[in-house]
Structure 1
Amino acid sequence: MTAPLSTDLRRRLVRAVEAGSSAREAARRFEVSPSAAIKLMQRVRATGSAAPAKVGGYRKPLLAGHEALLHELTMAKPGITLAEVQAELTGRGIQAGSLATIWSTLRRLGLRHKKRMARPVCKWIHDLV
């Protein structure tokens, strides 16, 4: 991911364009891409500021608001798989997303969903112990 232009460089580009240079001429002079200078000037005209826009940010979890249902599903069937949780959510009309989304939500809530490995029930194994 690229970093925004420095504040000093942004100010110099804006001053050059306001002094009469075109955005492309200012870009050539300060050795930045023409598109960066053009977009900067569009931003200055639209907002009045040369400050960079916010990069990234917080995104609300896809399954926010369904924590009680997820808790209910995992408690009702302790060995439930992610695919089964996904099918149950989809059956209730909830956009569940991928299995990774369900996994991260369950982990964030501290809920277990992992099946336990099936243990063989053989008499001769118990006799060895």
Structure 2
Amino acid sequence: MSENPSIDDIREEKIEELRESTDESGSVTPSEPIHVGSPDDLSGAVDQYDVVLVDFYADWCGPCKMLEPTIEELAAETEAAIAKVDVDQNQQLAAQYGVQGVPMLLLFADGEPAEKLVGVKSKDDLAGLIEAYN
């Protein structure tokens, strides 16, 4: 007998995950980072979710790579939406938010920038920051 889950089992599991990740306003918080491809993508995320943590990163950046697993865990475990902005692909967006070094994290609360952090931060520090605005 196969140990692989059936399509129905997977579907039921995903439905349960969605139920658990729905916030009070009925908006589903993504369990994976949102990859931002344009200023409109970022504006849409900030408008849709109460708390958004934006990770401005570069593929060539060692500290950014160190932070990536933490960012993915926060997306799965917190009630904030997590967005990732590649500064090389979105130079205008990075300039708009004053990114001078990567990684830079920008926390939006209720549609407004609330906190700016530069450098690698611990998961606990970031989770505490998110919780303070939830």
| TM-score range for the pair, normalised by the shorter chain length | under 0.3
Q: Which has the higher contact order (CA 8 A, sep 6+)?
A: 2
TM-score (norm 1): 0.19
If each structure's strand is expressed as a fraction of its own residues, which one has the higher value? 2
Q: Comparing both structures, which one devotes a greater share of its residues to helix?
A: 1
